[in-house]
Amino acid sequence: MATIKDVAKLAGVSPSTVSRVIAGSNRISLETKNRVQRAMEQLNYVPNAIARSLARSHTHTIGFALSRRADQAFSNPFFSEVMRGMSTVAQARGYNILLSISLNPEDELSKCLQLVRERRVDGLILSTSRVKDPLIAALSEEEAPFVVIGRCMERPVLSVNNDNVKAGYNATVHLLEEGYREIAYLSGASDLVVTIDRMNGYKQALIERGLPLVEERIGVADFSEQDGYEALCQMKERGVSLDAVVASDDLLALGALQFAERYGLRVPEDLGVVGFNDTPLMVYTHPPLTSVRILSYELGVEAMDLLIDALENPDKKRLKKEIVLPSELIVRGSSRRRGKAE
């Protein structure tokens, strides 16, 4: 494998000259430039990225942290889409993506710190955020550049989020307008900021319409259909009445559908259901699932752009920008009973 020296030798110049034509320096004669380029082609020369990184002390690599719970949570294409978005930008701006999948938040923390301290990545993108997130705290202390997909409640950070409060609010209002009154909320892991925000939107809608906020109608479940199903069954068995469910994830909404089946409830007549993420396959549930569409691809795009901007403009680094992307409620059969025969 040819090195910069080989090229220099062949072209009859010094390595630094070669380095200059690679960098596209303008103070270089057209003639030697051509000569060098010919030599590079002839030797099939490609600069060694590692050596470059060492010399310039940055890697042009971004780490993406995914903890397994998050991963399985969204066995829907949410993260695939985010990654596609990130990847598009990374590609365009000359960056690479290093993947870090962990089994739990503790591992995630140590692996991310490792990546940063080893200087393997220039910055990190975090896939979710929790209340008092230790990872965010550690990274902040380390002064490592990072952006979180989600929101940080404790301190200003670079972040890209969707309007979860509003989305939760809209979903709930929609159910109210369809005539549902006893609306339950299915939360994901209770320390995830997303699910808390969505819940707050839900609460806000109820309060605004003067409806009672029944704590027993709020169920906490891991992001899985099974858990969603069980949470609702427990509610029912405790004698809590409900005629609709706002589920903070489509998988949980699926659990709600199962729950309806178990108790012989008709959807949407007896139970209205709305989920989150608008997972493509949810079109095929019976009835098709109403869901909040999240701009996951765009989330990835914005996150990567934000991080690279911060990286490349050290002056702006201190400005902790927070981007919020809109969501859209996609109404389908699972929540539309207005005008239907009762």
Partner DNA sequence: CTGTTAGCGCGTTCAC
Partner DNA sequence: GTGAACGCGCTAACAG
Query: What does the binding site for its own copies look like in residue numbers (CB under 8 A)?
Result: 1, 44, 46-51, 53-54, 59, 61, 64, 68, 71, 75, 77, 79-80, 83-84, 87, 91, 96-102, 111, 114-115, 117-120, 254, 257, 279-282, 284-286
Partner in contact with 59, chosen from its own copies, DNA, none, beta carbon below 5 to 8 Å by kind: its own copies
- Of residues 38, 41, 42, 51, which one binds DNA by CB under 7 A? 51
- Supply 339's token pair: 């005008």
Calculate ∠ Cα 118-120-125, nearest 5°.
Answer: 110
**Residue 56 in the binding site for DNA (CB under 7 A):** yes
E strands, 150-306, are 158-162, 183-187, 218-220, 244-247, 272-276, 290-293
- Nearer CB in complex with DNA: 6/322: 6
Partner in contact with 99, chosen from its own copies, DNA, none, beta carbon below 5 to 8 Å by kind: its own copies
- Nearer CB in complex with DNA: 24/339: 24
**Residue 143 in the binding site for DNA (CB under 7 A):** no
| x/- letters, 3..42, toward DNA (CB under 7 A) | xxx------xxxxxx-xx-xx-x-xxx-xxx---------
Bridge partners for 59 per DSSP: none
In degrees and rounded to multiples of 5, residue 248 shows phi and psi of: -75, 5
197 contacts 165 by C-beta, under 8 angstroms: yes
Q: First vs last Cα of the chain: how many Å apart? A: 76
Partner in contact with 157, chosen from DNA, its own copies, none, beta carbon below 5 to 8 Å by kind: none
- Supply 222's token pair: 């891991």
What are the CA-CA distances from residue 91 to residues 32, 84, 309 (Å)?
Answer: 30, 10, 14
**Residue 120 in the binding site for DNA (CB under 7 A):** no
Partner in contact with 296, chosen from its own copies, DNA, none, beta carbon below 5 to 8 Å by kind: none
Partner in contact with 277, chosen from its own copies, DNA, none, beta carbon below 5 to 8 Å by kind: none
- Nearer CB in complex with its own copies: 59/164: 59
Q: What residues contact residue 197 under an 8 Å CB cut-off, 6+ apart?
A: 151, 164, 165, 168
d(CA 91, CA 97): 9
Partner in contact with 319, chosen from its own copies, DNA, none, beta carbon below 5 to 8 Å by kind: none
Reported as type and span, the H/E element at residue 18 is helix 15-23
Residue type, 57: S
- Nearer CB in complex with DNA: 3/258: 3
Calculate ∠ Cα 120-121-125, nearest 5°.
Answer: 145
Partner in contact with 17, chosen from DNA, its own copies, none, beta carbon below 5 to 8 Å by kind: DNA
State CA 21 to chain mean position distance.
Answer: 39
d(CA 169, CA 202): 5
* Least separation in angstroms between CB 58 and DNA: 10
- Nearer CB in complex with its own copies: 73/152: 73
Contact positions vs DNA (CB under 7 A): 1, 3-5, 12-17, 19-20, 22-23, 25, 27-29, 31-33, 45, 47-48, 51-52, 54-57
